[in-house]
Amino acid sequence: MITQIEISLLIRLIIAHLLSDFVFQSDSWVNLRFKDGWHSKYLYLHGVIAGIFAYFFSGLWGYIWIPIAVAITHILIDGIKANYENSIQSFLLDQIGHFIILLFIWILIINPKSEDIDVLKQIFLPGIKIWVIVAAYLIITLPSSVLINKITEKWRGNIEKEGTYKEESLEKAGRWIGRLERFLILTFVLLKQYEAIGLLVAAKSIFRFNETRKVGEYVLIGTLLSFAIAIIVGLIAGLFLF
């Protein structure tokens, strides 16, 4: 039977991936990777960072092959991805590839040595709740922004071409609004305060009543995607918490 410590290990490996892919990797690194492919130094630097994070969050100091395996597979997957268009399909396939590798690595180490179990108990919480919460907030903050951005990219391009936007907006304001609304929604779902989500929807709609039809539809699509992701992540996290 899989123990809480073993489940906690898998969640920590996922958190390590999220941090290395969405926090400690800038957009410029990604763009240069697509431009230079296998010749990009950032491809290999990012792979090394992913390996270090996986090793640190695993806490299995005797398993030196973990950072090596993560780094090599990360470089291979990202290198192959760089040969294709930077689209929603390549993004999803890239993430699925990384998660499959992490799952495979986890399967290989779910029966760690007794001394490694003692290390895990001393350094990390034996329960999984705290890691579920951390992973949930990471997912709705950064990976979700990238996913929504890629899904709505086509419509945003059409609007910008037609000059539908009449007023300039604050720099990255939309991105931060989306992150904050997903943060609030996830919090409401975890607290089971579902009525507050309706109030949040109403509050946001007030500030969009004067938009043109195309802009309004674009904002609505982005908002619904944002809300749906936060709610789904919250419900899944709730399965581990309640």
pLDDT in tens, 39-67: 999 999 999 999 999 999 998 998 999 99
Residues 46 and 80 in one domain: yes
pLDDT 10s digits, 67-98: 999 999 999 999 999 998 888 888 999 999 99
Structural domain includes residue 40: yes
Q: How many domains does the chain fold into?
A: 2
Residue 208: what pLDDT?
55
Residue 201: closest CA among 232, 224, 217, 229: 224
Is residue 218, in this structure, part of any structural domain at all? yes
**Between 155 and 2, where is the model more confident?**
155
Q: Which of 131, 146, 218, 130 is nearest to 182 (CA)?
A: 146
Is the confidence at residue 155, as pLDDT, over 90? no
Amino acid at 140: I
Q: Is residue 142 part of a domain?
A: no
Residue 138 lies in a domain: no
Confidence of residue 178 (pLDDT cuts 50, 70, 90): confident
Q: Are both 100 and 153 inside the same structural domain?
A: no
Residues 117 and 193 placed together within one structural domain of the fold: no
Q: Which amino acid is at 208?
A: R
Residue 172 lies in a domain: yes
Residue 97 belongs to some domain of the structure: yes
Residue 140 lies in a domain: no
Cα angle 77, 53, 37; round to 5: 30
* pTM (2 d.p.): 0.73
Residue 163 has pLDDT above 80, yes or no: no
123: phi then psi, degrees, rounded to nearest 5: -95, -40
**Structural domain harbouring 157:** 147-241
Could you give the CA distance from residue 191 to residue 181 in angstroms, rounded to a whole number?
Answer: 15
Q: Say if residue 31 is in the same domain as residue 100.
A: yes
